[in-house]
Amino acid sequence: MGVIMIDNPATHFNLKTHMNSRDLKTAIEKITQRGGLSNVGRAISFVTKNFFSKANGNRSSAPNVVVVMVDGWPTDKVEEASRLARESGINIFFITIEGAAENEKQYVVEPNFANKAVCRTNGFYSFHVQSWFGLHKTLQPLVKRVCDTDRLACSKTCLNSADIGFVIDGSSSVGTGNFRTVLQFVTNLTKEFEISDTDTRIGAVQYTYEQRLEFGFDQYSSKPDILNAIKRVGYWSGGTSTGAAINFALEQLFKKSKPNKRKLMILITDGRSYDDVRIPAMAAHLKGVITYAIGVAWAAQEELEVIATHPARDHSFFVDEFDNLYQYVPRIIQNICTEFNSQPRN
């Protein structure tokens, strides 16, 4: 546990300063009131940038939770700072004490500020207390909610909550050198995610006319092991049956995906498929698999758009040469995160 004051944000003590409840209680009792403004937005920004670091005692296995207590209303805007906090995996709980009287509402900088700050707007993250004398009544409900880790929705980010299946074209037209370039592209994408058996998991399928499961979601649970497994994938060579590969990935990879994970398929191909892709692609979409289609060289643009999740402009990409694949890593990651962060907050 740590404490930050809101007026001019600064850390009183961080997550590892006090290691037992007695010392923590003594430290809290020594905090003095400083007065000043209710700069909640600045305080949330400060927490996002400075507080939850490994150096300050943050543990990757524990959810990050911020409890904001404000008397009346914030004197600055909270919406943008809170959005960045949510996208960083921070669960914001908001306790408002008293509030603006009717003749004071004209001074409120940002109406509905609590809903703009909290992780979700379903009431789980918000408390309103009529006076400071009633604050103690929120203690047990707050502790219960903070400890209900399955409902801490903002612990999940675009980088730590997916099952990602790479479906890799290993046909003869790719060639050994280009295939290694494709694997480097897969590696570069994988490096962006937080990998573990409880965070993002990675699986891979290679296909020609036939299909081969290179490794499943539950085979490796650390980033170094995944990256080594990608390096060890051997080039197969053969035809191009992309439709059959999608069906194979649905059966061999995504059927074993965890219910609480977003399912992402990233398919990389360099040519037109010898079989139909429309029906397998539709099956993937109906099963909730978000599909990104990356085409190189001789890949057919209209086929990529059929494979890709709607809208195709955000989920299908084409590059002329294998050596240019790396340029699309930031854009693909950005699109994955934009889509994740645009989910309703209710």
Structure tokens at 237: 């060579």
Both 212 and 115 in one domain: the answer is: no
Domain termination site, one of 138, 154, 170 = 154
Both 109 and 211 in one domain: the answer is: no
Phi–psi pair at 312, nearest 5 degrees: -60, -30
Q: What is the mean pLDDT of residues 196-212?
A: 96
Q: What is the rounded CA–CA span in Å between residue 207 and residue 245?
A: 6
Query: pLDDT tens for residues 17-39?
Result: 998 999 999 999 998 888 888 89
Q: What is the rounded CA–CA span in Å between residue 154 and residue 343?
A: 12
The pLDDT score that the predictor gives to residue 37 is: 84
User: What is the reported pTM?
Assistant: 0.84
Domain termination site, one of 123, 154, 185 = 154
Both 22 and 117 in one domain: the answer is: yes
**pLDDT at residue 118 is higher than 90:** yes
Average model confidence (pLDDT) across the chain: 93
DSSP 8-state code for residue 290: E
The pLDDT score that the predictor gives to residue 8 is: 79
- Looking up residue 259, the CATH number of its domain turns out to be 3.40.50.410
Q: Is the peptide bond before 74 cis (omega within 30 degrees of 0)?
A: no
Both 206 and 115 in one domain: the answer is: no
Both 135 and 188 in one domain: the answer is: no
Query: pLDDT tens for residues 159-185?
Result: 999 999 999 999 999 999 999 999 999
Q: Which residues pair with 116 in a beta bridge?
A: none
Both 99 and 144 in one domain: the answer is: yes
**Planar angle of CA 174, 180, 186, nearest 5 degrees:** 100
Rg (CA), the chain: 24
Both 138 and 203 in one domain: the answer is: no
The domain of 120 spans 3-154
The pLDDT score that the predictor gives to residue 111 is: 84
Grouping H, G, I as helix, E, B as strand and the rest as coil, residue 33 is: coil
Both 205 and 120 in one domain: the answer is: no
Domain termination site, one of 106, 132, 154 = 154
Q: For residues 155, 251, 272 and 240, what is the CA-based torsion angle, rounded to 10 degrees?
A: 120
**pLDDT at residue 61 is higher than 90:** no
- Largest Cα–Cα distance of the chain, in whole Å? 76
The pLDDT score that the predictor gives to residue 112 is: 87
Query: pLDDT tens for residues 69-108?
Result: 998 888 899 999 999 999 999 999 999 998 777 777 787 8
Number of domains making up the chain: 2
Q: Which residues pair with 295 in a beta bridge?
A: 269, 318
Both 219 and 281 in one domain: the answer is: yes
Q: pLDDT > 90: what percent of the chain?
A: 76
